[in-house]
Amino acid sequence: MVQYVIRRILATIPVLFGILFVVFMLIRLIPGDPCHAMLGEKATKEVCDRFVREHGLDKPLLTQFGIYINNIAHGKFGDSFRYGIPITRLLIERLPATIELSVSALFVSIIIGIPLGILASIKHNSWIDVLTMMWANIGVSMPVFWLGLMLAYIFAIVLKGTPFWLPPSGRLTVGIDSTPFYEVWGWQLTDGTWKSILYFISNLHILNGLLSANWPLFFDAVKHLILPAAALGTIPLALIARMTRSSMLEVLGQDYIRTARSKGLPRRLVILKHAFRNSLLPLVTVIGLSLGSLLGGAVLTETIFGLSGVGRTLYDAITARDYGIVQAFTVVIAISFVLINLIVDISYAYLDPRIRLD
């Protein structure tokens, strides 16, 4: 197992370099000189000269790439000309919203998708099965941005004045107290890496609400997340339900299931212990694959629901031609995608010994 993990990690390194190279080259391909492309049209001569020196733009391409890698390894993404602050700080501020959104979307799709898939498989060819599959087909074909807007319309306008009303935008209601948990706990912190990390964690509003026992904050954050998570989770949900059903159907036809049934084990035990456990494997892959659509969909969902996450910031940066942010955020999203897939692969090997021994 250890050997497999090491091999897998080593195989990831070239891919990471590839990602960095692609993004590095993309930015170099922007027409016009890189300084004005990165720092905006208004950048002065002195600012440009400094920029060229800092990034080694007067040096050969390979040296530039080295400098670029070195900067990223030190967490230096430069400054955003649009916000006038280091992009790293922007990331720390914006990433939690995206993490909160994608994790809850994935959570929703798993806790609904798996039972739905199991139900459809044990009631094979019944109306539940047909309905689930119809719904899954529609779900896979759903444009996230359309679903999001329609949900916002239904829950914020049509259901206005009912208990089902949900806020159509933002992460929190204006004026709600979101004091970081470490301040509630009375920790005295000096500025630095530790404080940045704690600040990052406290920006996950749901977690912060839990840690500081701030229930109004917790419920408000959850309320704001329901619609975006439902919109973003639809495609993964459909994929998961479909995959659970098909792998369950495959397993349910196996001899050992018949054996388990014929020796008198209760149906529930056979389905959950014998069948479901063995159909888990393909599910792990689907969940890994869904992450790509989650991260891409986050751009759309955050734009619609006015969540200031990584996706929304990326979109704003593209409209404002703030290539510094585009570059940094693309790299961060792609690298997290690769790392998550690495974890998925490793857990796959953990679950299925045949893979790591191959």
Please state, in angstroms and rounded to a whole number, the distance separating the CA atoms of residues 112 and 106. 10
CB of 213 to another protein, least distance (A): 36
CB of 45 to another protein, least distance (A): 25
Stretch that binds another protein, among 1-9, 86-94, 130-138, 212-220 (CB under 8 A): 130-138
Q: Which H, E and C letters describe 202-267, residue by residue?
A: HCCHHHHHHHCCCHHHHHHHHHHHHHHHHHHHHHHHHHHHHHHHHHHHHHHCCHHHHHHHHCCCCH
Tokens 């993004």, residue?
23
CB of 345 to another protein, least distance (A): 13
Q: Which H, E and C letters describe 310-323, residue by residue?
A: HHHHHHHHHHCCCH
Q: Are 226 and 232 in contact (CB under 8 A)?
A: no
| Closest CB to another protein among residues 144, 204 | 144
Q: Which two tokens stand for residue 333?
A: 């999203």
253-258: long-range pairs with CB below 8 Å, 24+: 254/278
CB of 57 to another protein, least distance (A): 17
Per-residue binder mask for another protein (CB under 8 A), 241-260, x = binder: -----x--xx--x-------
Stretch that binds another protein, among 53-61, 90-98, 129-137, 266-274 (CB under 8 A): 129-137
CB of 73 to another protein, least distance (A): 18
CB of 44 to another protein, least distance (A): 25
Q: Which position among 112, 315, 344, 355 is part of the footprint of another protein (CB under 8 A)?
A: 315
Report DSSP letters for 36-103, one per residue. Answer: HHHH-TT--HHHHHHHHHHTTTTS-HHHHHHHHHHHHHTT---B-TTT-SBHHHHHHHHHHHHHHHHH
The greatest distance separating any two alpha carbons of the chain, rounded to the nearest whole angstrom, comes to 83
Please state, in angstroms and rounded to a whole number, the distance separating the CA atoms of residues 19 and 174. 39
Please state, in angstroms and rounded to a whole number, the distance separating the CA atoms of residues 155 and 354. 48
Per-residue binder mask for another protein (CB under 8 A), 271-300, x = binder: --------------------xxx-xxx-xx
Stretch that binds another protein, among 179-187, 259-267, 269-277, 322-330 (CB under 8 A): 322-330
Does position 176 interact with another protein (CB under 8 A)? The reply is no
> Which residues ranging from 18 to 57 are in contact with another protein (CB under 8 A)?
18-19, 21-23, 26-27, 29-30
* Residues of this chain that bind another protein (CB under 8 A): 14-15, 18-19, 21-23, 26-27, 29-30, 133-134, 137-138, 140-147, 149-150, 152-153, 156-157, 246, 249-250, 253, 291-293, 295-297, 299-300, 303-304, 314-315, 318-319, 321, 323, 326, 330, 333-334, 337-338, 341
